[in-house]
Amino acid sequence: MNKFILAAFITTALLGCNSNDGEDIIVDKVGLDISALTDQQKQDYAQISTDINALVLYVVGTCVDKQEQINADFTTLRCNIADHLTDIAKTEYSAITLVDGKLDITRENNARFIIKTDEDVKFKALTISSETLSYRLSSDNSITVQISGDNEQILTASFRGFYTDGSLSDNGSWTTESIKDQSFIFTDDENTRLIALTNGQAKLIGKDKKSYSWSTDTMGKVVLK
């Protein structure tokens, strides 16, 4: 039996299909081999792992804006990425194409939103893989958005997510998470239609609990630590 499938089977049997611990075991045993990555590859994985969150947030913002026109007092919302593929913004430092996925949005109050996935977000990022990649926000994984300011709103975001590259059976999963108290700022340039997560810090965790961290500058470009 393929090692990735075996690990997933053991994890599901012992911990349950909705357990974050299960994902952590998969990553630890058959995850991305960070020690084999070049600095450029680390840069690419970090940039894509950051930018996919920016793209998800853009879609969420579009869904929330439309829903507020219908019901300004909503508390939960299901957002289908496929409904927004034609008008989605772009990221400057990585070429990512969203494919599909459904997002579950919970508004805890007027200034705080939690984003999870009902179905994994599917996307392509040719810099790191020729195949379709998956991004999961379930169990303890999520994106949290906090809105502050009145006239000029500032959106800060923290996240923890689980990624899978289906083309790599042995080294195809990794986790990224923002570092506590170092949340990212979501920026959206209406003139260029470029979006980014800026001025934050995060880390990528792969096989054997190895990890590396990075920050993003004021334009959203990853700077390795």
User: pTM (2 decimals)?
Assistant: 0.88
pLDDT at site 2: 41
Q: Write the single-letter amino acid at 188.
A: D
Two structure tokens written together for 215: 């920050």
pLDDT of 5 > 50? The answer is no
List the one residue out of 118, 139, 117 whose CA is nearest residue 52. 117
Average pLDDT, whole number, for the chain?
88
H helix count then E strand count, the chain: 3, 13
Q: Write the single-letter amino acid at 182.
A: Q
Using only the alpha carbons of the chain, give its radius of gyration.
17
pLDDT at site 61: 95
Lowest pLDDT segment from 29-38, 162-171, 215-224? 162-171
pLDDT at site 171: 65
Question: What integer is the mean pLDDT of 84-107?
Answer: 95
Cα-based angle 184, 189, 192 (whole degrees, multiple of 5): 135
Which secondary-structure segment (H or E) carries 54? helix 39-70
List the one residue out of 156, 196, 158, 197 whose CA is nearest residue 177. 158
Per-residue pLDDT of 43-82, as tens digits, reads 999 999 999 999 999 999 999 999 999 999 999 999 999 9
Question: What integer is the mean pLDDT of 5-33?
Answer: 56
Which secondary-structure segment (H or E) carries 158? strand 154-165
Distance, CA of 133 to chain centre:
11
Per-residue pLDDT of 205-216, as tens digits, reads 999 999 999 999
Domain extent listing, the chain? 22-224
195 by DSSP, 3-state: which? strand
Strands 154-165 and 132-136: antiparallel
